[in-house]
Amino acid sequence: MGAVDKLRKKLKEGEVYRRSDLATWSSSVDRDLNDLVTEGALQKLSQGLFYYPRQTVFGKTPPDEKVLVRSFLKDDNFLLTSPNVFNSLGVGTTQLYNTKVVYNHKRHGKFKFGNQEFDFRVKHHFPKKPTTEFLLVDLVNNLDTLAEDKASVLKNVADKVTSMDKKALKRSVAQYGSVKTKKIFAPLI
């Protein structure tokens, strides 16, 4: 059995691997990775990041976004979201965005992995799972970057606040709001 076959046996479908992870299983990791990419067994997502595709009846599937981000960051402490979730708040946002936002403690900037682009933003505080209160605060934090009518959205946010849990919203504003966002919410809560 050749070195490439030994390395292939260690791989699991649907997993994302860093070059450094695979180096423990190969004496010539770059050559073996090149061979696996050339034959189509592995897909190179970016420098030092590889995906072993899961095969379905429809073809090869892309990597799960959470698995991809976890492998890239070497960490589970992140929140993967999108500006599209603001549309669920009912405050007049309607645009669709082709952007994934990753709040984390390590990386900042836009990174492309295969066909997917992620906007990594370093934040000191973010929840494990987004709540309605967090999403409303995050919407106001990011309102200047959205293609929406800002005045109309802010009016709808003010209306939305009246039907929300004020204590939970106040906590979210204090924990996650920017200075500008805190000033906007101050008269509302």
pLDDT in tens, the chain (189 residues): 578 888 888 899 999 999 998 888 888 889 999 999 998 889 999 999 999 998 889 888 889 999 999 999 999 999 999 999 999 999 999 999 998 999 999 999 999 998 889 999 999 999 999 999 999 999 999 999 999 999 999 999 999 999 999 999 999 999 999 999 999 999 998
Q: What is the pLDDT of residues 97-112, one digit of tens each?
A: 998 999 999 999 999 9
| Closest C-alpha among 82, 189, 89 to residue 146 | 82
